[in-house]
Amino acid sequence: MAISKDDVVTFHYRLSNADGQELESSHGGDPMAYLHGHQNIISSLENAMTEHRAGDVFTVTVAAAEAYGPRQEGATQRVPIKHLVGDKKSLARLRPGDIATMNTEQGPRQVIVVKPGKFNIDVDTNHPLAGKDLTFDIEIQEVREATSEEIAHGHAHGVGGHHH
Ligand code: ZN
């Protein structure tokens, strides 16, 4: 059964940049699950899924513009270091280029450290993956029909999906 709208797809992935450097991986943990046809994942990745079925292993490269968009210039902000997530020790170890998590009114978001300091820190608020072409190595574990509840919610439930 090829993947079609309202299927729940469970897959493992390895995400790497254009240099082949691994950025994220689900291997060693739970796979991801998503509801197909509901724009829950990057659209070019979702489009690539449609030809596939359980057990397939394939690679998709997604251009930066279709992934997290281009990097915005001038997105550097100086923020109090207490706005970052982490204990004092780990915050003191931050170096330029490190990824940190900042609490914002919209919730936690990942930022790139530009210039660490004792009380304030300069961070680049671009998404760490902005401006990067991304390669996904995908291994599809399972494809099943969504439940009516999942379709009503617009997302997958269970392992790798949403828990209520
Ligand atoms: Zn739900």
Distance between Cα 158 and ligand 1 center (Å): 9
Mean pLDDT in order along the chain per 10 residues (164 residues)? 94 93 94 96 94 96 90 93 92 94 91 94 92 95 97 96 92
Q: Is residue 158 part of a domain?
A: no
Same domain, 32 and 62: yes
**Cα–ligand 1 centroid distance for 64 (angstroms):** 30
Q: CATH code at 143?
A: 3.10.50.40
Same domain for 11 and 63: yes
Q: Are residues 30 and 59 in the same domain?
A: yes
Q: What are the tens digits of pLDDT across the range 48-78?
A: 999 899 999 999 999 999 888 899 999 999 9
Instruction: Indicate the number of domains in the chain.
Output: 2
- What's the CA gap between 135 and 155, in Å, rounded? 24
Which structural domain, as residue segments, surrounds residue 27? 7-68+131-153
Ligand 1 centroid, distance to 37 Cα (angstroms): 16
- Please give the distance, rounded to the nearest whole angstrom, from the Cα atom of residue 152 to the centre of ligand 1: 8
Kind and range of the H or E run holding 91: helix 88-92
Residue 120: give its domain's CATH number: 2.40.10.330
Report the relative pairing of strands 134-145 and 120-124 from DSSP bridges: unpaired
Model's pTM, two decimal places?
0.74
Same domain, 18 and 62: yes
Query: In this structure, is the dihedral angle defined by the CA atoms of residues 132, 133, 139 and 142, taken in order, positive or negative?
Result: positive
78 vs 84: CA distance, rounded Å? 12
